[in-house]
């Protein structure tokens, strides 16, 4: 039971990471770095709370979250794909903007600079009696957890087995080649970023639904961790999800060990260290899509 509870905790923590990391994999495979994950999640979390608060229906809240997440991603796509501005800076700008905007709305709407009132979480599902399982039950009853589990193979299929994925990956590796065959680079890259926005927005909605409220800065760097997990997972949604599970386990362990003599803070730093080692080529080889981060300029051939 103890083990099961721990596994449930680790899985629970991994959910938003995994959603955002899979989104980042889609975006980066298409050639757009998405440091904006943090901002997308933050905006979506607030949108979930607002939507649920006003409508009383968490499903409408979820729809709001997705809409806002996709809109935030669209802003990133406009700036980086259409205007061809620097992708990293745009992501950081969007993160700052989201931090400010959510606080602004929080103060304006709920007259608090720290948190919203309590809202409903997403209701439980009892598919195949999964929710009744000991230990893992409450987790597997959550629709977003099930959705996340379903997303892992689906996003993999989208990237590696669909026509869209084939074309998208060619945009991230060699957009000139894709363009020379008449494919529209900007369109595919934008779609990749939007898919990323949709996935990351689910992560944001999950956070808000779990905590039944919005707290200022509640993503707490999860977007950056997701990005790191995506790198450790080598730009593959399954790898990224697995890395998220690893990071989530480290997190859960750290929470367990808090207050004990064990230096749990070092455990907290572990995912970042692993990422740096992977990046330097010490653990396997992580090769980014070749054209990632490079704006595609059809005039420069």
Residues 6+ apart with CB under 8 A from 103: 113, 216
Q: What is the dihedral of CA 96, 40, 16, 206, to 10 degrees?
A: 110
User: Which DSSP category does 177 fall into?
Assistant: H
Decide: is 96 part of the binding site for another protein (CB under 8 A). Answer: yes
Decide: is 182 part of the binding site for another protein (CB under 8 A). Answer: yes
Decide: is 114 part of the binding site for another protein (CB under 8 A). Answer: no
CB of 87 to another protein, least distance (A): 9
Decide: is 25 part of the binding site for another protein (CB under 8 A). Answer: no
- Residues binding another protein: what is the number (CB under 8 A)? 69
The pair of structure tokens assigned to 73 is 């991603």
Decide: is 83 part of the binding site for another protein (CB under 8 A). Answer: yes
Decide: is 242 part of the binding site for another protein (CB under 8 A). Answer: no
Decide: is 1 part of the binding site for another protein (CB under 8 A). Answer: no
Decide: is 154 part of the binding site for another protein (CB under 8 A). Answer: no
On whether the CB atoms of residues 5 and 146 are closer than 8 A, the answer is: no
Decide: is 231 part of the binding site for another protein (CB under 8 A). Answer: yes
Which CB atom, from 140 or from 185, has the smaller least distance to another protein? Answer: 185
Decide: is 176 part of the binding site for another protein (CB under 8 A). Answer: yes
Between helices 163-173 and 185-211, what is the axis angle to 10°?
Answer: 110
| Phi/psi at 215 (5° precision) | -115, 145
The pair of structure tokens assigned to 262 is 């064990």
Whole-angstrom Cα distance, residue 79 to residue 295?
10
CA distances from residue 96 to 4, 70, 216, 224 in whole angstroms, order as listed: 38, 17, 13, 13
Which one among 4, 63, 67, 88 touches another protein, defined by CB under 8 A?
88
Decide: is 222 part of the binding site for another protein (CB under 8 A). Answer: no
Residues 6+ apart with CB under 8 A from 48: 58, 61, 62, 64, 65, 119, 204, 205, 208, 209, 214
Decide: is 153 part of the binding site for another protein (CB under 8 A). Answer: no
* Interface segment toward another protein; rule CB under 8 A; list 124-132, 135-143, 189-197, 277-285: 277-285
Q: Catalog residues that contact another protein under the rule CB under 8 A.
A: 35, 75, 79, 83-86, 88-90, 92-101, 103-104, 106-108, 113, 161-167, 169-170, 173-174, 176-178, 180-183, 221, 224-225, 227-228, 231, 263, 265-266, 268-269, 272-273, 275-276, 279-281, 288-290, 295, 297, 299, 301
């Amino acid at each position: 039971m103890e083990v099961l509870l721990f596994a449930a905790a680790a899985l629970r923590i991994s959910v938003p990471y995994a959603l955002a990391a899979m989104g980042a994999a889609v975006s980066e495979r298409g050639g757009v770095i998405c440091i904006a994950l943090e901002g997308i999640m933050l905006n979506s979390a607030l949108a979930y709370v607002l939507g649920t608060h006003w409508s009383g229906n968490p499903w409408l809240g979820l729809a709001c979250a997705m809409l806002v997440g996709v809109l935030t991603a669209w802003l990133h796509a406009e700036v980086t794909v259409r205007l061809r501005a620097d992708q990293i800076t745009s992501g950081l700008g969007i993160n700052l903007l989201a931090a400010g905007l959510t606080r602004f709305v929080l103060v304006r709407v709920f007259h608090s600079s720290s948190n919203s009132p309590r809202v409903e979480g997403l209701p439980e599902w009892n598919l195949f009696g999964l929710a009744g399982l000991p230990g893992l039950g409450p987790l597997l009853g959550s629709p977003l957890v099930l959705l996340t589990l379903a997303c892992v193979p689906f996003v993999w299929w989208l990237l590696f087995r669909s026509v869209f994925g084939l074309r998208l990956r060619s945009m991230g590796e060699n957009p000139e080649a894709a363009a020379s065959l008449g494919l529209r680079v900007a369109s595919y890259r934008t779609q990749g970023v939007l898919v990323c926005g949709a996935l990351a927005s689910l992560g944001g909605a999950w956070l808000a639904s779990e905590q039944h409220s919005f707290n200022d800065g509640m993503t707490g760097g999860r977007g950056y961790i997701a990005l790191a997990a995506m790198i450790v997972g080598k730009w593959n949604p399954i790898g990224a999800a697995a890395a998220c599970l690893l990071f989530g386990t480290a997190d859960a362990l750290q929470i367990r060990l808090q207050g004990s003599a064990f230096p749990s803070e070092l455990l907290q730093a572990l995912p970042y260290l692993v990422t740096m080692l992977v990046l330097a080529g010490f653990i396997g080889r992580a090769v980014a899509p070749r054209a990632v981060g490079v704006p595609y300029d059809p005039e420069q051939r």
